[in-house]
Structure 1
Amino acid sequence: MAFRSIFDFSALQTEFDNAGINSHFIPLIWKHVLANPDCKWDEISSLPSAAYSLLKSKFLPLTSTLHSVAHSTDAVTTKLLIKLQGGALVEAVIMRYDTRLGKYGGKPRPGGPRSTLCVSSQVGCKMGCKFCATGSMGFKSNLSTGEIVEQLVHASCISNIRNVVFMGMGEPLNNYSALVEAIRVMTRSPFQLSFKRITVSTVGIVHAINKLHCDLPHLNLAVSLHAPVQDIRCQIMPAARAFPLEKLMVALHLYQKNSQQKIFIEYIMLNGVNDEEPQAHQLGKLLETLEVVVNLIPFNPVGIASQFKTSSAEKVKCFQKILREKYNIRTTVRKEMGQDINGACGQLVISEQTKMLAESSDLVTDIEDLHL
């Protein structure tokens, strides 16, 4: 029998309840593991005697290991390749920012240095987005709650994580139960992240969006829209056929009505595909009745196999200007980070798995690493 992660909350709580152990010991155990990832259970003091035998027989402090770490030359991005108990590899990316740089609303920005962690929710992905490295892997498996949370544990040994974004490998809302439980763990002691500092990105799984606010109130929602009309979405995002744009927009209006929060819109700029002026107007009209922040993402093609090209800086600027000036939509342009360490999610995994075949140069870029 495979051991479970100590961060698999439901399994741990069930075992404690069955053994008559008070669940208030769980945060104490997590706190010790967070500070001592390589610990032995006997090193934790003040637990009931029954807890030690239970933990030794069924749980591990960490079921995953840090396979490798890659740092960008500018030291703002660190990519973690994490090996799961079953041997599969997933990625997590630490992105460092100083919020004092630049201005917002003409005034100096508050805050200071912070780190955002981009986590994976699945091994591979079944969405098949044509611009995405992870999509080229196909779907392998869902991560457990513990495997998701352990990415935060590994990253916390490297940097003080303030924000978490579910924009790594996989479609988070296709692993809904583990996602919800992992976020609840992250907002409890000892992690104590705020819901407002956690963002979940989705291609638009309508039925899950309709549940999300009830299960995780105050969470940030990001939507990988990437096109203002259904036919273009289907061309570059095959999964869009199952979630028509009309139904997605109804779900987003309902989500915003219930949550009273802005929605983040991710829009990758593909030359000649979705970056023309008429499409900027279509996008503006589609979103003008919502409170949104649009993040325009310059596409960074990797390898000659990519079927897409990068939009010119002029096109991106024009697209942004139309959204801002004609539709009063707050619009930002993604800052590219970690290009020298294969900044796209999925690239390190695929590179590792195909290293002996020297195929890493044929990968396409995945854009699911939005910084917020």
Structure 2
Amino acid sequence: MAYRSIFDGTELRAEFEKSGINTRFIPSIWKHVLQNPNCKWEEIPSLPSTVYPLLNSKFKPLTSTLCSVTDSTDGVTSKLLLQLQSGAFVEAVIMRYDTRLGRYGGKPRPGGPRSTLCVSSQVGCKMGCKFCATGSMGFKNNLLAGEIVEQLVHASCISNIRNIVFMGMGEPLNNYMALVEAIRTMTRSPFQLSPRRVTVSTVGIIHAINKLQYDIPNLNLAVSLHAPVQDIRCQIMPAARAFPLEKLMDALRVYQNNSQQKIFIEYIMLDGVNDEEQHAHQLGKLLETFEVVVNLIPFNPIGDLSRFRTSSEVKVNSFQKVLRSTYNIRTTVRKQMGQDISGACGQLAVNLQEKICTSADRLADIEDLPL
């Protein structure tokens, strides 16, 4: 029998209600597991006696195992390799920042050290983006809501997580119900993350974008645009054929009008493909009526899996200047983090032949996006 994660909130509430148990005990159970990931159910105090046999028969504190943590040489990035109950593997990445080191509007930024967790929502991905290592894996399966939340539980044992970005393995909006349930859990006690500190990245699943603003208000939306015209998008992102650029922009306009929030535009810089000055002007004209932040992403090489090259720093700066100066679009360049451990954008992929997680390997304990 496969046990469910205690963080599968919908399943847990349904079992409690079926057994006549008050669901008000759920946050205290989650809090105990968050603080004691390897606990026994009997160790949780002050629960009704009927709760313990139910938990023992159907749920586990964690259904995933943290197999390894690989730290970048600069110490600011950690890649977590997790094995799911099914035997499949996923990766998540912790990125550490100190906002006091940056400047905003010419003045020192407030704040201090903080960590962002890049979360996976699927094993592999069916979008097949040509520049992304995860796409080379193909699609294996969706993660359950509890498996998504458990990435935060594991990461919280390593660092104090302040922000969540769904930019790991998979297309989040292709696993919609689990995504929504996981975010609702993350924004409740004991995690209590603000929806404004959660960002969901998508290649542009239009029907899901239309639902998201109502299911989780105040969430940050990031769109992997990567090209200013449909032809180029289809060349580098085969899934774009199902989501024409014109219809996607219409959906984003409705989303923004309803949410009154900025939309983050992700744009990977591919030498000679989408990084010329004409492309910058095309992108500027496409976005000039929106409130957006464009994040230019240096391409991270993925060995023999890609024919693309990284745009030069000169081209990236020129592209940024066009968007800023001509179209007054706020534009940032994503800091390279975790490239040496294949934990940077587009590099997450699990080689199952090399990532065997044995009992001896298991560990018992263990951006900000601009607004």
Out of 332-341 and 237-246, give the one that drifted further: 332-341
1:195-225 deviations in whole A, cap 9, x for unaligned? 0000000000000000111000000000000
Distance between the aligned counterparts of 1:115 and 1:353, measured in 2?
31
1:48-82 deviations in whole A, cap 9, x for unaligned? 11100000000000000001110111110000000
2:359 aligns with none
Partners of 2:117 and 2:152 within 8 A in 1: yes
Distance between the aligned counterparts of 2:225 and 2:290, measured in 1?
14
SS, match of residue 250 in structure 1 = helix
Deviation at 1:348, TM superposition (A): 6.1
Distance between the aligned counterparts of 1:205 and 1:146, measured in 2?
23
1:326 aligns with 326
SS, match of residue 177 in structure 1 = helix
1:282 aligns with 282
Equivalent position amino acid for 1:205 in 2? I
1:37 aligns with 37
Please state if 1:266 is matched with 2:271. no
Query: Taking structure 1 as the reference length, what is the TM-score of the superposition?
Result: 0.94
Deviation at 1:350, TM superposition (A): 2.6
Partners of 1:95 and 1:371 within 8 A in 2: no
Number of residue pairs matched by the alignment: 359
Please state if 1:301 is matched with 2:290. no
Distance between the aligned counterparts of 1:234 and 1:176, measured in 2?
23
1:24-56 deviations in whole A, cap 9, x for unaligned? 000000000000000000000111111000000
Distance between the aligned counterparts of 1:57 and 1:102, measured in 2?
50
Distance between the aligned counterparts of 1:235 and 1:178, measured in 2?
30
SS, match of residue 168 in structure 1 = coil
Out of 346-355 and 98-107, give the one that drifted further: 346-355
Partners of 1:129 and 1:135 within 8 A in 2: yes
Unaligned residue ranges in structure 2 (runs of 5+): 357-366
Equivalent position amino acid for 1:238 in 2? P
Distance between the aligned counterparts of 1:355 and 1:159, measured in 2?
23
Mapping of 1:162-181 within 5 angstroms?
162-181=162-181
2:233 aligns with 233
Q: CA RMSD in A?
A: 1.3
Q: In structure 2, do the counterparts of structure 1 residues 222 and 347 end up closer, same or farther at CA, with 3 Å as the change threshold? A: closer
Partners of 2:123 and 2:141 within 8 A in 1: yes
1:233-262 deviations in whole A, cap 9, x for unaligned? 000000000000000000000000000000
Out of 14-23 and 341-350, give the one that drifted further: 341-350
2:50 aligns with 50
Please state if 1:314 is matched with 2:314. yes
2:98 aligns with 98
1:87 aligns with 87
Distance between the aligned counterparts of 2:348 and 2:118, measured in 1?
14
Equivalent position amino acid for 2:180 in 1? V
Query: Taking structure 2 as the reference length, what is the TM-score of the superposition?
Result: 0.95
Equivalent position amino acid for 1:45 in 2? P
Q: In structure 2, do the counterparts of structure 1 residues 67 and 354 end up closer, same or farther at CA, with 3 Å as the change threshold? A: closer
1:188 aligns with 188
Distance between the aligned counterparts of 2:85 and 2:302, measured in 1?
30
SS, match of residue 50 in structure 2 = helix
Identity across the alignment (%): 79
Mapping of 1:246-261 within 5 angstroms?
246-261=246-261
1:59 aligns with 59
Partners of 1:37 and 1:62 within 8 A in 2: yes
SS, match of residue 100 in structure 1 = helix
Equivalent position amino acid for 1:157 in 2? C
1:155 aligns with 155
Equivalent position amino acid for 1:187 in 2? T
Distance between the aligned counterparts of 1:238 and 1:5, measured in 2?
34
SS, match of residue 49 in structure 1 = coil
SS, match of residue 95 in structure 1 = strand
SS, match of residue 273 in structure 2 = coil
Equivalent position amino acid for 1:85 in 2? Q
Equivalent position amino acid for 1:333 in 2? V
SS, match of residue 214 in structure 1 = helix
Partners of 1:134 and 1:345 within 8 A in 2: no
2:69 aligns with 69
Out of 138-147 and 304-313, give the one that drifted further: 304-313
Out of 305-314 and 80-89, give the one that drifted further: 305-314
Distance between the aligned counterparts of 1:215 and 1:335, measured in 2?
31
Equivalent position amino acid for 2:139 in 1? F
SS, match of residue 127 in structure 1 = coil
1:165-215 deviations in whole A, cap 9, x for unaligned? 000000000000000010000000000000000000000000000011100
Out of 301-310 and 126-135, give the one that drifted further: 301-310
2:212 aligns with 212
Deviation at 1:351, TM superposition (A): 3.6
Unaligned residue ranges in structure 1 (runs of 5+): 357-369
Equivalent position amino acid for 1:78 in 2? S
Q: In structure 2, do the counterparts of structure 1 residues 229 and 39 end up closer, same or farther at CA, with 3 Å as the change threshold? A: same
Equivalent position amino acid for 2:275 in 1? D
Q: In structure 2, do the counterparts of structure 1 residues 319 and 345 end up closer, same or farther at CA, with 3 Å as the change threshold? A: closer
2:363 aligns with none
Q: In structure 2, do the counterparts of structure 1 residues 345 and 120 end up closer, same or farther at CA, with 3 Å as the change threshold? A: farther
